[in-house]
Amino acid sequence: MKLKCTFLNLFLGFISLLIINDKFTSILLAEESLKVDLNTEIKKGKLLIGLKQYLGGENDSFSRRGNINFITDKGFLNLHSSNGIKHKSKQINITWRHIPIKNPKTIERIVFGPFASYESAKKQAEKLKDQGFHSNVAYPKNWEVWIPFEENLPEFEVKNKIFRKIKNIQITPFLKSEYSFMKLEGPIHIFADEEIKINDINFGKNFYLTQDSYGTWTLIQKIKFADYLQGVLPHEIGSNSPIEALKAQAVIARTWGIFNSDRFNMDKYHLCISTQCQVYKPPKFKNKKVQKAIEVTSNLILTYENKPINAFYHASNGGVSAIASESWQMKDSFYFNSIIDGSKSLNKIFKLPISNESELNNFLDFDKEQFYGSYHSLFRWDKKISSLKIKDKLIQNKLINLNENVLDLKVIERGSSGRVTKLEIQTNKVNKSIVLVKDDIRRILSFIPSNLFTINKLSDDLWLLRGGGFGHGVGLSQSGAIEMAELGFSYEQILNHYYRGAKLEKIEILSQ
């Protein structure tokens, strides 16, 4: 009898240990699921994509009446919140509330910008770090650089302002159901074995909600590189493109994603889904050509000196590519060159640099059929621009006042490809002119498709801009790559043409 009791006690103890271990494992898994470490995810071959930014704030265009609804047709949704709440159901509804803070805080910082691109903002951040300042690149609406506010800061060359705000509310997520209303804390992990619809849009299976640096929240998708590329290629180069052009796009989109994976470090994700990164939309179905291009080039990236390159690309270069320093405030890389983008015979006709208006006009007048990608709708373009239109843009960007008028436009510097790198806008204010540099030209005068243009004055308040191309002109021209593929070039040849000196290499971490 005693032996039976001992055995029973041992058995019950073993079962209890299993239950405790099971609970302990469950707790560990829940805690693990809430960790958002950007470097670790990249090493695992995963990306964290900021699908929807500024949730709960004034610029929130995704939440419906302050609510986000997650639903799955099959199986169950799981929610793990950092304050210990775990929830499982067929549908999850999260709502935002503005909660007053008992002890309001004053936020102070020095803000540099806005910058036209991440590249220019990053360059400024690096300069400030070299001067001993703790700097961060931010994206509240445009690219900016932030440093902490201190008394007696030195004068800076770049335009800056003091940002000061009293934080007296906290945008807070709540789990809302028929029977409860529970406060959540980020990061909040929402996942399922099946596809999840968010506000009726099918996005994927694995998401986070995290608080950003602006007091609002971001919906982040955790995704494999291959799945990410499935949502990039159709919207960047088009799923109907020739297979070799699709392969080239797969390689550079993968390379660009890895190189730029620190772009949103401040807000705990890698990349956005707009033209500020690579355009990404969750695919409704898998395109066979796109899938093949991704599979054939699996794990392949472009490198220089054994490191991923910054694989810039754009829609159309207008027949001549640019070096990086023509477009942004950054150093040049050996794998970006100014090249005449077409048949070998064109290189005998046109020599670089294209240094003046006359040479560029001759280039723009030449038979466009000789160039790669000439079918693009903006390969050649004319824009009639009035002084009033320019004035409106300058006022919007707080560069002039209402009582100032635009008198003249003048190119004062061009890059080796002929692109305008400094544009002077003269006004009627004595001793005042506006000088726009590189990417700021297209940021402020957003009606200009590219910086490759000449200026012809038609009257006192009207100019004709003649130009070519759409985008910054650095790296691969998508329209050029498509035509090269149609002419029989392989994706390796296309990449060698646009990124001279870069190597095609496998990066094994992406297969894990």
pLDDT tens for 416-456 read 999 999 999 999 987 788 999 999 999 999 999 999 999 99
For 171-180, how does the pLDDT look when each residue is reduced to its tens digit (9 = 90+)?
999 999 877 8
Check if the beta carbon of residue 201 is closer than 8 Å to that of residue 70: no
What SS3 string covers 96-109? EEEEEEEEEEEEEE
What residues contact residue 314 under an 8 Å CB cut-off, 6+ apart? 469, 470, 471, 472, 473, 474, 475, 476, 477, 478
Nearest to 147 by CA among 120, 169, 127, 167: 127
Measured distance CA(49)–CA(223) in Å, rounded: 8
> 325-366 pLDDT, tens per residue?
999 888 888 899 899 999 888 988 999 999 899 999 999 999
DSSP H helical segments within 156-201, as ranges?
none
* Alpha-carbon distances of 77 from 73, 74, 191, 220, rounded to whole Å: 10, 9, 6, 16
Q: Residue 97: which pLDDT band, with cuts at 50, 70 and 90?
A: very high
| DSSP type of residue 155 | P
What is the C-alpha R_g of the chain? 27
Angle at 189 (CA atoms; ends 187, 192), nearest 5 degrees: 170
Phi, psi of 206 (to 5 degrees): -140, 115
**Considering the chain, what is the average pLDDT of its residues?**
90
Largest CA distance in the chain: 112
**Confidence bin at 512 (pLDDT 50/70/90):** very low
Of 273, 167, 171, nearest to 212 by C-alpha is: 171
Task: Give the pair of three-digit tokens for residue 149.
Answer: 């506010």
Whether residue 144 is predicted with pLDDT greater than 70 in this model: the reply is: yes
pLDDT over threshold 60, residue 277: yes
Label residue 37 left, alpha or beta by phi (over 0 means left) and psi (-120 to 50 means alpha).
Answer: beta
**What is the pLDDT, as a whole number, of residue 206?**
94
Q: Which residues of 252-290 are buried (b: 16+ CB within 10 A; e: fewer)?
A: bbbbbbbbbbebbeebbbbbbbeeebbebebbeeebebb
Task: Give the three-state DSSP class for 430.
Answer: coil
Cβ neighbour number for residue 334 with a 10 Å cutoff: 12
**48 has pLDDT over 60:** yes
- Tell me the CATH class for 99-170: alpha beta
Token digits of residue 166: 């009293």
What separation, in Å, do the N-terminal and C-terminal C-alpha atoms of the chain show? 55
pLDDT for residue 510:
56
Tens of pLDDT, residue by residue over 361-381, are 999 999 999 999 999 999 999
- C-alpha distances (whole Å) from 145 to each of 54, 130, 161, 277, 439 are 18, 14, 11, 18, 16
Side-chain half-sphere CA neighbours of 430 within 13 A:
0
306-330 confidence digits (pLDDT tens)? 999 999 999 999 999 999 999 988 8
pTM, full prediction: 0.89
The count of other CB atoms within 10 Å of the CB of residue 8 is 10
CB 186 within 8 A of CB 171: no
Structure confidence by residue, pLDDT tens digits, 21-42: 444 434 444 455 677 789 889 8
Between CA 329 and CA 157 the distance in angstroms is 14
d(CA 70, CA 203): 10
Domain boundaries, the chain: 99-170, 312-474
Residue 234: asked if its preceding bond is cis (omega within 30°), the reply is no
Q: What is the pLDDT of residue 207?
A: 95
Does position 20 have pLDDT exceeding 60, yes or no? no
Q: What pLDDT sits at residue 481?
A: 98
Q: Tokens 């909660």 label which residue?
A: 99
| Separation CA 189–CA 36 (nearest Å) | 10
Give the model's confidence band at 283: pLDDT under 50 very low, under 70 low, under 90 confident, else very high: confident
Strand partners, 424: 410, 435
Do residues 253 and 229 make contact, with C-beta atoms less than 8 angstroms apart?
Answer: yes
